[in-house]
A and B are shown apart, each in its own frame.
Chain A
Amino acid sequence: MAKAAESPGDPGTTTPRPLFAGLSDISISQDIPVEGEITIPMRSQIREFDSSTLNESVQNTIMRDLKAVGKKFMHVLYPRKSNTLLRDWDLWGPLILCVTLALMLQSSVDSEKDGGPQFAEVFVIVWFGAVTITLNSKLLGGNISFFQSLCVLGYCILPLTVAMLVCRLVLLAEPGPVNFMVRLFVVIVMFAWSIVASTAFLADSQPPNRKALAIYPIFLFYFVISWMILTFTPQ
């Protein structure tokens, strides 16, 4: 093809030499068939990668995903300014946390006084709250993607889930004002932890003068969840 001869690199440039720079020196004899594909090398790399995850065993996949989720849990518990959560986001962790929280918060079905939140209510609150906050931060001019924000908000529910577990344990003891004070203290600490964690991840994506505007709905969101945890009484 005429094209190959027309695309050599310029010998006089100081920029890095283009891909086919040395080809102009090669002479092709007539009896070698010129055939085959000229493709960008990265493509084949991607294809190999895809097939390798398809062929591995289920256990490998599950363990890899669980390890990723566990790593992100660690990042939430010790929040530093890192973008691990943002870079490879996943929604497994938020799903596990949300389902755990909703299961623990639901009241018994057969009681007449169903004043406690049901499973569906908690689920809907968490997910629609996260979606609303994400839309709000996008509208305020943040440059974070939709699912990254959902991922961060979901993972930062971890401290509150821990608080729920602790409250459940504390409620096994006899009720009283001391009981309530302990639960209140635990929930407040975990609430503050959640906000600090989510701020550490999300604050950088907002324009600097509008951070407060983006953080206030997050505060409200975790406040509502904390309130549901604090006022939970098992029947």
Chain B
Amino acid sequence: MATTAAPAGGARSGAGPEWGGFEENIQGGGSAVIDMENMDDTSGSSFEDMGELHQRLREEEVDADAAAAEEEDGEFLGLKGFKGQLSRQVADQMWQAGKRQASRAFSLYANIDILRPYFDVEPAQVRSRLLESMIPVKMVSFPQKIAGELYGPLMLVFTLVAILLHGMKTSDTIIREGTLMGTAIGTCFGYWLGVSSFIYFLAYLCNAQITMLQMLALLGYGLFGHCIVLFITYNIHLHALFYLFWLLVGGLSTLRMVAVLVSRTVGPTQRLLLCGTLAALHMLFLLYLHFAYHKVVEGILDTLEGPNIPPMQRVPRDIPAALPAARLSATVLNATAKAVAVTLQSH
């Protein structure tokens, strides 16, 4: 009696692992007492049958599929109702296990908390970093600190998107196979992510000490200058003004990025390569943004328009294909001159 009483005792207390799942499923989890009424059809089930059932239960837990298969031969007196509940219990346990696994996987991969430390900033910090992004540092002999946060850069990219949209609308840009918003978002995010990755790759080649996050943050804050210039020049359409701002504001933010990179790289060739590339890309991007979405006088357009127009047409302001060679070479010269000057200064 002792052995057969044990399962029953376990059923009462619910402590035994064999009966634990059984108990919580009968009343739907809300009750404290097993309802023996629902258990079986025959009131004559004695503790001997319980012992048999206990044995069966263990077998069924090992082979869960057998529970469904054995539904058919549930002609057993006293076990019919029980088997139904048993299969339900097993199915429920499998569901719980599957759900637990899925939620664990989900919380591991789709957890936005991974990004949470990069958004831990105060408004005062963001403001000071925005202002600092326009001030080039003098000290290049020891590595400069770069704040690894993503809030500022992300907001700056979105601001640039908004400003670009404004520029495209005022210049009546027409996009044939695409949408205005899609183009703006693609351009800005493509630049931020693409150029960051490219410069990070170059930094890896040149043995510079910078992580991907820091590169993203650096380039993101470097877009602050772009935002200012474009905001002003999309509204005041003066070429001379644009060139002035391009050199001044664009140049300042480029200088800052270049100085930070120089302080983290060793060797003149590496410095030249890295900083020259970054400076060229940054300044050229500002040039591109201004001219691609800018109202241009019709006369100049007619003389400059080339024969080949790319499929995603921006009619009729497709300037980049028609930039005169002189301007391009001047830009490159400027950028390299700056990089060389900084390199020479540091020696």
Chain A interface (Cβ < 8 Å from any Cβ of B): 1-3, 35-40, 43, 113-115, 117-118, 121, 124-125, 135-136, 138-141, 209-210, 212-213, 216-217, 220, 223-224, 227, 231
Q: In the complex, what residue of chain B is closest to A44 when comparing beta carbons? A: B30
- Note all chain A residues with C-beta closer than 8 A to B30: 39-40, 43
| A37 in contact with B35 (CB, 8 Å) | yes
| B165 in contact with A213 (CB, 8 Å) | no
- Note all chain B residues with C-beta closer than 8 A to A212: 123
Q: How far is the CB of B347 from chain A (nearest CB, A)?
A: 42
Q: Determine which of B27, B121, B174, B179 lies in contact with A117 in the assembled complex, contact meaning CB atoms within 8 Å.
A: B179
| Tally of chain B residues near chain A (CB < 8 A) | 36
Taken residue by residue from 180 to 192, chain B's Cβ proximity to chain A (1 for < 8 Å, 0 otherwise) reads as 1110000000000
| B12 in contact with A1 (CB, 8 Å) | yes
Given A2-B12, A37-B35; A213-B112 close (CB under 8 Å): no
Given A209-B122, A224-B162, A224-B165; A43-B28 close (CB under 8 Å): yes
- Note all chain B residues with C-beta closer than 8 A to A124: 181
| B32 in contact with A38 (CB, 8 Å) | yes
Given A40-B30, A140-B119, A227-B169; A220-B151 close (CB under 8 Å): no
Pick 23 A–B contacts, CB within 8 A, sort by A: A37-B31, A37-B35, A38-B33, A39-B27, A39-B30, A40-B30, A113-B174, A115-B180, A117-B180, A117-B181, A118-B179, A138-B112, A139-B118, A139-B119, A141-B116, A141-B120, A210-B122, A212-B123, A213-B126, A220-B155, A220-B162, A224-B162, A227-B166
**Residue B297 interfacial (CB < 8 Å):** no
Chain B interface (Cβ < 8 Å from any Cβ of A): 12, 27-28, 30-33, 35, 37, 112, 115-116, 118-123, 126, 151, 154-155, 158-159, 162, 165-166, 169, 172-175, 179-182
Q: In the complex, what residue of chain A is closest to B115 when comparing beta carbons? A: A139
Q: In the complex, what residue of chain A is closest to B175 when comparing beta carbons? A: A115
- Given A39-B27, A139-B116, list of 20 further CB < 8 A pairs? A1-B33, A35-B35, A37-B31, A39-B30, A43-B30, A115-B173, A115-B174, A115-B175, A121-B181, A125-B181, A135-B112, A138-B112, A139-B112, A209-B123, A210-B122, A213-B123, A217-B155, A220-B158, A224-B165, A227-B165
Q: In the complex, what residue of chain B is closest to A128 when comparing beta carbons? A: B185
Q: How far is the CB of B263 from chain A (nearest CB, A)?
A: 29
| B174 in contact with A216 (CB, 8 Å) | no
